Amino acid sequence: MKLLRRNALLACASIALTGPIVSGCGDSTLATVPSGRRAYVTQPGQKGLCDPDGIQPSYDYNRYDEPVYTKCDPPPLELLTERAVFSSGDELMNQLAPRIDAPIETLVAYEQQQGYPSLRAHLDGGESTEEGAAAGAGSDGPTGNEAATLEQDGVTRADFPVGDAILSLLNDRGEIQIADTVYKVTRDNVYAVNVVDLPVLRQKVPSLSSPPPADGDPRIAVTPVETTVPRESMEPLSSLTATNGPRFHHIPGVGSVCEVYAGSSNRMRGTSYKTFWFFYTEAGVTTEWERKKKFLWWSYWASTYQPGTLSYSFTSTLTQGQIGLPGSNPAGPRSGSFSWTGTSRIHTTLAWGIFHRILGEIHSHHSVSNSSVTGSCDTTA
Protein backbone atom coordinates (compact mmCIF):
# COMPACT_ATOMS: atom_id res chain seq x y z
CA MET A 1 0.00 0.00 0.00
CA LYS A 2 2.87 2.38 0.77
CA LEU A 3 4.22 1.73 -2.72
CA LEU A 4 0.84 2.46 -4.27
CA ARG A 5 0.57 5.75 -2.41
CA ARG A 6 4.11 6.68 -3.41
CA ASN A 7 3.40 5.88 -7.07
CA ALA A 8 0.26 7.99 -6.88
CA LEU A 9 2.29 10.96 -5.71
CA LEU A 10 4.83 10.39 -8.48
CA ALA A 11 2.04 10.37 -11.02
CA CYS A 12 0.75 13.69 -9.70
CA ALA A 13 4.26 15.13 -9.91
CA SER A 14 4.66 14.04 -13.52
CA ILE A 15 1.37 15.65 -14.52
CA ALA A 16 2.16 18.85 -12.64
CA LEU A 17 5.43 19.24 -14.51
CA THR A 18 3.80 19.08 -17.93
CA GLY A 19 1.37 21.95 -17.55
CA PRO A 20 -2.10 22.79 -16.22
CA ILE A 21 -3.76 19.97 -14.30
CA VAL A 22 -7.42 19.13 -14.67
CA SER A 23 -8.03 15.90 -12.81
CA GLY A 24 -4.76 13.94 -12.81
CA CYS A 25 -4.23 13.65 -9.07
CA GLY A 26 -7.87 12.93 -8.44
CA ASP A 27 -7.64 9.67 -10.35
CA SER A 28 -5.02 8.09 -8.11
CA THR A 29 -4.95 5.97 -4.99
CA LEU A 30 -4.99 9.12 -2.85
CA ALA A 31 -8.77 8.90 -2.60
CA THR A 32 -11.66 6.76 -3.78
CA VAL A 33 -13.14 9.12 -6.37
CA PRO A 34 -14.47 8.72 -9.93
CA SER A 35 -12.34 9.70 -12.93
CA GLY A 36 -14.96 11.82 -14.66
CA ARG A 37 -14.56 14.98 -12.62
CA ARG A 38 -13.12 18.21 -13.96
CA ALA A 39 -11.97 21.39 -12.29
CA TYR A 40 -13.85 24.60 -12.87
CA VAL A 41 -12.58 28.11 -12.14
CA THR A 42 -14.86 30.63 -10.49
CA GLN A 43 -12.21 33.34 -10.18
CA PRO A 44 -8.46 33.25 -10.90
CA GLY A 45 -6.84 30.79 -8.52
CA GLN A 46 -10.13 29.52 -7.11
CA LYS A 47 -11.33 26.01 -7.88
CA GLY A 48 -14.02 23.51 -7.09
CA LEU A 49 -14.59 19.97 -8.31
CA CYS A 50 -17.54 18.92 -10.46
CA ASP A 51 -18.25 16.06 -12.80
CA PRO A 52 -18.74 16.93 -16.52
CA ASP A 53 -22.49 17.35 -16.03
CA GLY A 54 -22.10 19.83 -13.22
CA ILE A 55 -22.91 17.54 -10.32
CA GLN A 56 -20.88 16.74 -7.23
CA PRO A 57 -20.52 13.13 -6.01
CA SER A 58 -20.85 12.28 -2.34
CA TYR A 59 -19.43 9.11 -0.82
CA ASP A 60 -19.91 6.62 1.92
CA TYR A 61 -16.47 5.06 2.36
CA ASN A 62 -18.00 2.13 4.22
CA ARG A 63 -19.89 1.05 1.09
CA TYR A 64 -18.77 -0.08 -2.35
CA ASP A 65 -21.79 0.80 -4.45
CA GLU A 66 -22.06 3.74 -6.83
CA PRO A 67 -21.83 7.26 -5.33
CA VAL A 68 -24.89 9.44 -4.92
CA TYR A 69 -24.74 12.60 -7.05
CA THR A 70 -26.03 15.96 -5.91
CA LYS A 71 -26.11 19.42 -7.48
CA CYS A 72 -22.67 21.10 -7.61
CA ASP A 73 -22.59 24.80 -6.82
CA PRO A 74 -19.46 26.97 -6.62
CA PRO A 75 -18.11 26.79 -3.08
CA PRO A 76 -18.52 29.92 -0.95
CA LEU A 77 -15.67 32.39 -1.35
CA GLU A 78 -14.82 32.26 2.34
CA LEU A 79 -13.92 28.58 1.89
CA LEU A 80 -11.60 29.41 -1.00
CA THR A 81 -9.50 31.92 0.93
CA GLU A 82 -8.27 29.51 3.60
CA ARG A 83 -5.34 28.24 1.50
CA ALA A 84 -3.54 28.93 -1.78
CA VAL A 85 -4.90 26.98 -4.76
CA PHE A 86 -2.91 26.48 -7.98
CA SER A 87 -3.95 24.76 -11.20
CA SER A 88 -0.46 23.33 -11.76
CA GLY A 89 3.10 23.24 -10.52
CA ASP A 90 3.99 25.87 -13.12
CA GLU A 91 1.41 28.26 -11.69
CA LEU A 92 2.83 27.73 -8.20
CA MET A 93 6.35 28.44 -9.51
CA ASN A 94 5.19 31.70 -11.09
CA GLN A 95 3.61 32.85 -7.83
CA LEU A 96 6.55 31.74 -5.71
CA ALA A 97 9.36 33.22 -7.82
CA PRO A 98 8.97 36.88 -6.70
CA ARG A 99 8.94 35.78 -3.06
CA ILE A 100 12.26 33.93 -3.15
CA ASP A 101 14.66 35.81 -0.83
CA ALA A 102 12.31 38.81 -0.73
CA PRO A 103 12.49 41.06 2.37
CA ILE A 104 10.09 40.29 5.19
CA GLU A 105 8.23 43.52 4.45
CA THR A 106 7.52 42.30 0.93
CA LEU A 107 6.32 38.91 2.15
CA VAL A 108 4.03 40.59 4.68
CA ALA A 109 2.53 42.69 1.88
CA TYR A 110 1.85 39.56 -0.17
CA GLU A 111 0.33 37.82 2.84
CA GLN A 112 -2.04 40.69 3.52
CA GLN A 113 -3.60 40.06 0.11
CA GLN A 114 -4.02 36.32 0.58
CA GLY A 115 -6.98 36.23 2.93
CA TYR A 116 -5.49 33.54 5.20
CA PRO A 117 -2.74 33.51 7.88
CA SER A 118 0.57 32.17 6.59
CA LEU A 119 2.82 29.57 8.15
CA ARG A 120 5.65 32.11 8.09
CA ALA A 121 3.67 34.47 10.30
CA HIS A 122 2.49 31.57 12.47
CA LEU A 123 6.12 30.69 13.26
CA ASP A 124 7.42 34.27 13.54
CA GLY A 125 9.11 35.09 16.84
CA GLY A 126 8.87 38.82 16.10
CA GLU A 127 12.54 39.59 16.83
CA SER A 128 13.86 40.10 13.31
CA THR A 129 14.00 43.88 13.85
CA GLU A 130 15.87 45.94 16.42
CA GLU A 131 12.56 47.09 17.91
CA GLY A 132 11.22 43.54 18.16
CA ALA A 133 14.39 42.25 19.79
CA ALA A 134 14.40 45.12 22.28
CA ALA A 135 10.79 44.42 23.22
CA GLY A 136 11.62 40.80 24.03
CA ALA A 137 15.00 41.41 25.64
CA GLY A 138 13.62 41.62 29.16
CA SER A 139 12.24 38.08 29.05
CA ASP A 140 13.61 34.69 28.10
CA GLY A 141 10.13 33.46 27.17
CA PRO A 142 8.53 33.16 23.71
CA THR A 143 7.89 36.35 21.76
CA GLY A 144 5.75 37.13 18.74
CA ASN A 145 3.62 34.15 17.79
CA GLU A 146 5.93 31.58 19.36
CA ALA A 147 3.94 30.93 22.54
CA ALA A 148 0.67 30.23 20.72
CA THR A 149 2.43 28.12 18.10
CA LEU A 150 4.30 26.07 20.68
CA GLU A 151 1.12 25.45 22.65
CA GLN A 152 -1.00 24.64 19.57
CA ASP A 153 1.50 22.77 17.39
CA GLY A 154 4.61 22.05 19.45
CA VAL A 155 6.97 23.43 16.78
CA THR A 156 9.29 26.40 16.23
CA ARG A 157 10.63 28.10 13.10
CA ALA A 158 13.73 25.88 13.26
CA ASP A 159 11.55 22.82 12.56
CA PHE A 160 11.06 24.02 8.96
CA PRO A 161 14.49 24.22 7.27
CA VAL A 162 13.51 26.27 4.20
CA GLY A 163 13.42 29.96 3.34
CA ASP A 164 10.50 32.21 4.18
CA ALA A 165 9.15 32.31 0.61
CA ILE A 166 7.35 28.96 0.58
CA LEU A 167 6.25 29.42 4.21
CA SER A 168 4.53 32.66 3.21
CA LEU A 169 2.36 30.73 0.72
CA LEU A 170 1.43 27.87 3.04
CA ASN A 171 -1.41 28.59 5.44
CA ASP A 172 -0.96 28.25 9.19
CA ARG A 173 -2.02 24.59 8.97
CA GLY A 174 0.87 23.97 6.55
CA GLU A 175 -1.51 23.43 3.61
CA ILE A 176 -1.34 24.27 -0.08
CA GLN A 177 -3.40 22.94 -3.01
CA ILE A 178 -2.14 22.00 -6.49
CA ALA A 179 -4.96 20.97 -8.83
CA ASP A 180 -7.21 18.69 -6.75
CA THR A 181 -4.52 17.56 -4.29
CA VAL A 182 -3.93 19.29 -0.96
CA TYR A 183 -0.46 18.96 0.54
CA LYS A 184 0.08 19.49 4.26
CA VAL A 185 3.62 20.06 5.52
CA THR A 186 4.43 19.21 9.14
CA ARG A 187 7.66 19.01 11.08
CA ASP A 188 8.22 15.37 10.09
CA ASN A 189 6.06 14.55 7.07
CA VAL A 190 4.29 15.82 3.98
CA TYR A 191 0.72 14.55 3.62
CA ALA A 192 -1.33 14.52 0.42
CA VAL A 193 -5.06 14.01 -0.04
CA ASN A 194 -7.65 14.68 -2.67
CA VAL A 195 -9.38 17.92 -1.77
CA VAL A 196 -12.62 16.07 -0.98
CA ASP A 197 -10.76 14.26 1.82
CA LEU A 198 -9.24 17.35 3.42
CA PRO A 199 -11.60 17.11 6.44
CA VAL A 200 -10.30 13.57 7.00
CA LEU A 201 -6.71 14.79 6.95
CA ARG A 202 -7.46 17.63 9.36
CA GLN A 203 -9.12 15.23 11.75
CA LYS A 204 -6.34 12.65 11.68
CA VAL A 205 -3.37 15.05 11.39
CA PRO A 206 -4.54 18.05 13.43
CA SER A 207 -1.24 19.79 14.21
CA LEU A 208 2.13 20.63 12.67
CA SER A 209 3.76 17.89 14.75
CA SER A 210 1.13 15.14 14.49
CA PRO A 211 2.37 11.64 13.56
CA PRO A 212 0.88 9.75 10.59
CA PRO A 213 -2.54 8.19 11.26
CA ALA A 214 -2.13 4.88 13.04
CA ASP A 215 -4.80 3.23 10.88
CA GLY A 216 -2.86 3.75 7.64
CA ASP A 217 -5.84 5.42 5.95
CA PRO A 218 -5.30 4.83 2.18
CA ARG A 219 -6.79 8.23 1.36
CA ILE A 220 -3.80 9.92 3.00
CA ALA A 221 -0.41 9.62 1.30
CA VAL A 222 2.56 10.19 3.62
CA THR A 223 6.08 11.17 2.56
CA PRO A 224 8.73 11.85 5.24
CA VAL A 225 10.43 15.24 5.15
CA GLU A 226 14.00 14.86 3.93
CA THR A 227 16.57 17.44 4.98
CA THR A 228 20.29 17.67 5.65
CA VAL A 229 19.61 19.79 8.75
CA PRO A 230 19.68 17.77 12.00
CA ARG A 231 16.73 18.50 14.25
CA GLU A 232 17.42 20.40 17.41
CA SER A 233 14.51 19.47 19.61
CA MET A 234 13.60 21.32 22.75
CA GLU A 235 15.34 19.86 25.80
CA PRO A 236 14.69 20.02 29.56
CA LEU A 237 16.22 23.16 31.02
CA SER A 238 18.30 21.23 33.53
CA SER A 239 20.26 19.39 30.81
CA LEU A 240 21.08 22.23 28.42
CA THR A 241 24.25 24.28 28.49
CA ALA A 242 26.41 25.61 25.69
CA THR A 243 28.74 22.64 25.96
CA ASN A 244 26.83 19.60 27.23
CA GLY A 245 23.63 19.83 25.20
CA PRO A 246 22.82 17.34 22.45
CA ARG A 247 25.11 17.83 19.44
CA PHE A 248 23.32 15.63 16.87
CA HIS A 249 26.55 13.71 16.21
CA HIS A 250 27.91 16.99 14.87
CA ILE A 251 31.67 17.34 14.34
CA PRO A 252 32.58 20.99 15.10
CA GLY A 253 33.40 22.84 11.90
CA VAL A 254 32.11 20.05 9.64
CA GLY A 255 28.50 19.23 8.84
CA SER A 256 25.33 20.89 7.60
CA VAL A 257 25.04 22.99 10.79
CA CYS A 258 27.68 24.76 12.89
CA GLU A 259 27.57 27.16 15.84
CA VAL A 260 29.72 29.86 17.41
CA TYR A 261 28.62 30.46 21.01
CA ALA A 262 28.67 33.70 22.98
CA GLY A 263 28.17 32.36 26.51
CA SER A 264 25.33 29.94 27.16
CA SER A 265 22.42 32.05 25.90
CA ASN A 266 23.53 33.49 22.53
CA ARG A 267 25.11 32.04 19.42
CA MET A 268 25.61 32.31 15.67
CA ARG A 269 24.24 29.34 13.75
CA GLY A 270 25.32 28.57 10.20
CA THR A 271 23.45 26.19 7.90
CA SER A 272 23.93 24.70 4.46
CA TYR A 273 20.82 22.73 3.60
CA LYS A 274 18.87 20.70 1.08
CA THR A 275 15.24 20.04 2.04
CA PHE A 276 12.76 17.85 0.12
CA TRP A 277 9.00 18.14 0.68
CA PHE A 278 8.03 16.04 -2.37
CA PHE A 279 5.97 18.77 -4.07
CA TYR A 280 8.66 21.35 -3.23
CA THR A 281 12.43 21.15 -2.85
CA GLU A 282 14.95 23.81 -1.82
CA ALA A 283 18.66 24.27 -1.14
CA GLY A 284 20.31 27.27 0.46
CA VAL A 285 22.64 28.90 2.95
CA THR A 286 21.73 30.70 6.19
CA THR A 287 23.64 32.53 8.90
CA GLU A 288 21.61 33.72 11.88
CA TRP A 289 21.93 35.03 15.39
CA GLU A 290 19.96 33.22 18.08
CA ARG A 291 19.18 33.48 21.76
CA LYS A 292 17.99 30.77 24.09
CA LYS A 293 14.36 30.93 25.19
CA LYS A 294 12.21 28.96 27.60
CA PHE A 295 8.72 27.54 27.22
CA LEU A 296 7.23 25.82 30.25
CA TRP A 297 10.03 23.46 31.34
CA TRP A 298 11.76 23.36 27.93
CA SER A 299 14.51 25.39 26.30
CA TYR A 300 14.94 26.17 22.61
CA TRP A 301 16.84 28.56 20.31
CA ALA A 302 15.20 31.33 18.28
CA SER A 303 16.44 33.93 15.81
CA THR A 304 16.89 37.49 17.09
CA TYR A 305 18.31 40.80 15.87
CA GLN A 306 21.90 41.78 16.65
CA PRO A 307 23.68 45.02 15.66
CA GLY A 308 26.89 43.38 14.40
CA THR A 309 27.72 41.76 11.07
CA LEU A 310 26.66 38.31 9.84
CA SER A 311 28.19 36.87 6.69
CA TYR A 312 28.74 33.75 4.61
CA SER A 313 30.51 32.59 1.47
CA PHE A 314 29.78 29.40 -0.43
CA THR A 315 30.65 27.12 -3.34
CA SER A 316 28.09 24.80 -4.89
CA THR A 317 27.87 21.83 -7.26
CA LEU A 318 24.06 21.54 -7.19
CA THR A 319 22.05 19.88 -9.94
CA GLN A 320 18.31 19.53 -10.37
CA GLY A 321 16.15 16.91 -12.04
CA GLN A 322 12.76 15.27 -11.95
CA ILE A 323 11.88 13.01 -9.03
CA GLY A 324 13.21 9.51 -9.58
CA LEU A 325 15.80 10.62 -12.16
CA PRO A 326 19.42 11.68 -11.67
CA GLY A 327 19.99 15.41 -11.41
CA SER A 328 21.22 16.58 -14.79
CA ASN A 329 20.72 20.33 -14.94
CA PRO A 330 23.11 22.68 -13.09
CA ALA A 331 21.15 24.53 -10.42
CA GLY A 332 21.93 27.85 -8.77
CA PRO A 333 25.13 29.87 -8.57
CA ARG A 334 28.44 28.05 -8.31
CA SER A 335 29.80 30.44 -5.68
CA GLY A 336 28.98 33.64 -3.85
CA SER A 337 29.10 35.60 -0.61
CA PHE A 338 26.91 37.95 1.39
CA SER A 339 27.12 40.01 4.58
CA TRP A 340 24.83 42.39 6.42
CA THR A 341 25.18 44.57 9.48
CA GLY A 342 22.25 44.91 11.85
CA THR A 343 20.06 41.86 11.23
CA SER A 344 18.90 38.60 12.76
CA ARG A 345 19.40 36.42 9.72
CA ILE A 346 20.86 36.37 6.23
CA HIS A 347 19.79 33.76 3.71
CA THR A 348 20.18 32.83 0.05
CA THR A 349 18.08 30.26 -1.77
CA LEU A 350 20.53 28.60 -4.16
CA ALA A 351 18.03 26.33 -5.92
CA TRP A 352 14.35 25.45 -5.67
CA GLY A 353 11.77 23.57 -7.67
CA ILE A 354 8.31 22.02 -7.82
CA PHE A 355 8.20 18.19 -8.02
CA HIS A 356 11.98 18.09 -8.48
CA ARG A 357 15.06 16.73 -6.71
CA ILE A 358 18.17 18.76 -5.87
CA LEU A 359 21.46 16.87 -5.73
CA GLY A 360 25.10 17.89 -5.29
CA GLU A 361 26.92 19.70 -2.49
CA ILE A 362 27.12 23.09 -0.82
CA HIS A 363 30.22 24.19 1.13
CA SER A 364 29.83 27.34 3.20
CA HIS A 365 31.83 29.52 5.59
CA HIS A 366 29.82 31.48 8.19
CA SER A 367 31.01 34.31 10.42
CA VAL A 368 29.79 36.78 13.01
CA SER A 369 31.31 39.91 14.49
CA ASN A 370 29.43 41.80 17.17
CA SER A 371 29.83 42.98 20.76
CA SER A 372 29.27 39.44 22.06
CA VAL A 373 31.60 37.35 19.90
CA THR A 374 33.70 37.22 16.78
CA GLY A 375 34.11 33.85 15.12
CA SER A 376 33.42 31.57 12.19
CA CYS A 377 32.64 27.97 11.27
CA ASP A 378 32.04 25.82 8.18
CA THR A 379 29.20 23.69 6.88
CA THR A 380 28.68 21.15 4.13
CA ALA A 381 25.39 19.77 2.80
Residues 6+ apart with CB under 8 A from 107: 99, 118, 120, 164, 165, 168
Instruction: Average the pLDDT over each of 44-53, 123-132, 188-197 and give the range with the smallest value.
Output: 44-53
User: Smallest Cα–Cα separation from 275: which of 220, 349, 171?
Assistant: 349
Q: What is the pLDDT of residue 59?
A: 36
pLDDT (average), residues 106-123: 94
pLDDT (average), residues 268-283: 97
pLDDT at 190 over 70: yes
pLDDT (average), residues 244-258: 55
Q: Which SS3 state, helix, strand or coil, does residue 60 take?
A: coil
Say if residues 168 and 76 touch (Cβ distance below 8 Å).
Answer: no
User: Smallest Cα–Cα separation from 280: which of 44, 20, 45, 95?
Assistant: 95
Count of CB atoms within 10 A of residue 93's CB? 16
User: Smallest Cα–Cα separation from 183: which of 84, 62, 79, 117?
Assistant: 84
pLDDT at 68 over 80: no
* Euclidean distance between CA atoms 175 and 240, whole angstroms: 34
pLDDT (average), residues 96-123: 94
Cα 175 from chain centre: 9
Task: DSSP letter for 332, please.
Answer: S
Instruction: Average the pLDDT over each of 14-18, 103-107, 118-122, 352-356 and give the range with the smallest value.
Output: 14-18
* Euclidean distance between CA atoms 236 and 225, whole angstroms: 25
pLDDT (average), residues 347-358: 95
User: Smallest Cα–Cα separation from 111: which of 155, 49, 168?
Assistant: 168
pLDDT at 248 over 50: no
333-349, pLDDT tens digit by residue? 999 999 999 999 999 99
Instruction: Average the pLDDT over each of 61-65, 91-95, 168-172, 337-341 and give the range with the smallest value.
Output: 61-65
33-53, pLDDT tens digit by residue? 222 222 222 233 333 333 334
> How does residue 138 score in pLDDT terms, banded at 50, 70 and 90?
confident
Q: What is the pLDDT of residue 237?
A: 58
Residue 324 dihedral angles phi and psi, to the nearest 5°: 90, -5
> How does residue 328 score in pLDDT terms, banded at 50, 70 and 90?
confident
Q: Which residue ranges make up each domain of the chain? A: 1-63+75-224, 226-381
- Beta strands at 189-194 and 221-224: parallel, antiparallel or unpaired: antiparallel
> What share of the chain has pLDDT > 70, as a percent?
72
pLDDT at 254 over 80: no
